Chains A and B, each alone.
Chain A
Amino acid sequence: MSLALPHAGPVGTADAQEPPHEAMEQAADWYALLRSGVATDGDRLEWSRWLERDADHRHAWSYVEAVSRSFEPLQATQAPQATADGLWAANQRVLQRRRLLAGIALFGGSGLLGWATWRHTPLPLMAQAWRADHRTATGEIREVVLADGSRVWLNTATAFNLDYGADARRLQLLAGEILVETAHEAGRPFFVHTPQGRLQALGTRFTVRLDGEETLLAVYQGAVEVRTAEGAASAVIKAGRQIRFGRDALGAQAPADIAREAWSRGVLAANNVPLSEVVGELRRYRHGHLGLAPEVAGLRVFGSFPLHDTDEALKLLAYALPIQVRRTLPWWVSIEAVATGEKAGKAADKAAGKAGS
């Protein structure tokens, strides 16, 4: 059963159109059934078949996931029912006033959508990402060859714009992570711009990742010059080194993590890193919630895991570590310690997983 929805996110241009009403209705019905408390394994199987049958179904389901996610903060409150009742009562009072307002100034057509949309205007950068020249959905990894022969791999949920001018080749990274292998061209330098600064490739292979307020650069071949957006701190990062930097300062250099490059081959490589880090990476490739119990967060992980099938990756982890993967709902997965001591000690002496594809 495929639970990951690789292309289901409502982000691509092909997805600009709302799915057919019928698919939306069916998705809502499936949601109502699956969470009802009386869903059977047979229902869940049928649901997964429904999901596999049609891209419209997956697209519609991605909206179920998006809506479900907006409920997460409320589910975690101390008194969810009091919160829900308070919200409901507030809505009823507003409805009364809305009717009153309609009585004062009869005006049709504008409706609720307006201010709902307005309120949730996304971060400008996110809006930009949707219109970017090159983009990947959550869970997708893709390679593009640029006009000059340079190659760029886009990691999950990544977007960039290109501006190839006569004097320079410029790539603006809007979201996510890229691995760049530049083709040499005399007199036309290759720049990567991030909100935190500008990178100049000096004949190279390197990865750039946007991470909140910081950019993470790792260089595997050649060298890259970094210049921060403000304060103009600069440094040349050589092969085998990595650096984190913000808008006005450079962080300390560290040895480049060779595993960081593995994603371009669809593999998550872990070499003695805590489970929390591996799960953090896997989250970037999945829709929905992936929880991790604190008591297992520190388990050490070795091995390679497939990024194109994160369910498989979770299975491999559960095989190698004393953990169990629980699916409350298809988009709600949590990783917990196994209840019995049967697997105890396994983590310490067993290398995890087999090589991914």
Chain B
Amino acid sequence: MSASDYAIPPSVETLYCDHHGWLQTWLLRRLNNAADAADLAHDAFLRLILKPAPRGFDSFGEARGYLRAMARDMCINLWHRREIEQAWLETLAGRPQEHAPSAERQAMVLEALHEIGAMLLDLSPKAARAFLLAAVCQMSDREVAEVLGVSDRMVRKYVSQGMLRCMRLQARQTAGELMAGGPGW
């Protein structure tokens, strides 16, 4: 099976028959939750329909590789969203009830948290922390330096690194969206 090529570009139905069962099992082993695994497997094929792979698939193995990469990102995304939501709920729980923001406001904050959290994942932990304190808390370099116990110079470097990282993701994202039907990843 691993060497089999698709004679014609496979339809989503073909891909579904060939890979859905495998994908769901793959997800289940990592998520330990049948409902989540079923949801993500479903989402993966939905995504293939909405945004097909740019060059199609020539072989069974290629399709599987593509789906595996997609599934891996979906797992991380799911964990990330849950971790971030959990952290935000804990932050809220630490505040007096009467100051709780509106539901709409909360949704906005959560969305921003997801977006920024995603952009910062690949930074070193220290750089990510410095950048967050600077950009979210609007602390000066001096103040951040005191919290982290590093030099002002280092903070400046971290902030610049963090910003550059976010800018490049944003730029690639824009470019990806500009290419009609281009790959999401």
Contact = CB atoms under 8 A, between A and B. Distances in A.
Interface of A: 10-11, 13, 15-19, 24-25, 27-29, 31-33, 35-38, 60, 63-64, 66-68, 70-75, 77-95, 97-98, 101, 104-105, 107, 109-122, 127, 130-131
B94 interface: yes
Contact of A35 (B132, B159, B164): B159
A281 to B, nearest CB: 24
Q: Which 3 A-B pairs have the closest CB atoms?
A: A114-B185, A37-B140, A86-B87
Contacts of B185: 110-111, 113-115, 117-118
B99 interface: yes
Contact of A122 (B152, B170, B177): B177
Nearest to A59: B171
Contacts of B42: none
A84 to B, nearest CB: 4
A28 B69 contact: no
Given A18-B171, A74-B112, A115 B137 contact: no
A98 B121 CA distance: 10
Contact of B83 (A19, A94, A111): A94
A157 B138 CA distance: 30
Contacts of A85: 132
Given A83-B91, A122-B177, A101 B136 contact: no
A84 B166 contact: no
Contact of A74 (B109, B118, B160): B109
A145 B157 CA distance: 50
A36 B167 contact: no
B170 A63 contact: yes
Given A31-B160, A63-B171, A130-B178, A119 B114 contact: yes
Contacts of B95: 78-79
Given A67-B166, A87-B117, 5 more contacts: A18-B172, A68-B135, A73-B112, A86-B84, A117-B177
A13 B178 CA distance: 8
A91 B120 contact: yes
B108 A114 contact: no
B161 interface: yes
B132 A88 contact: yes
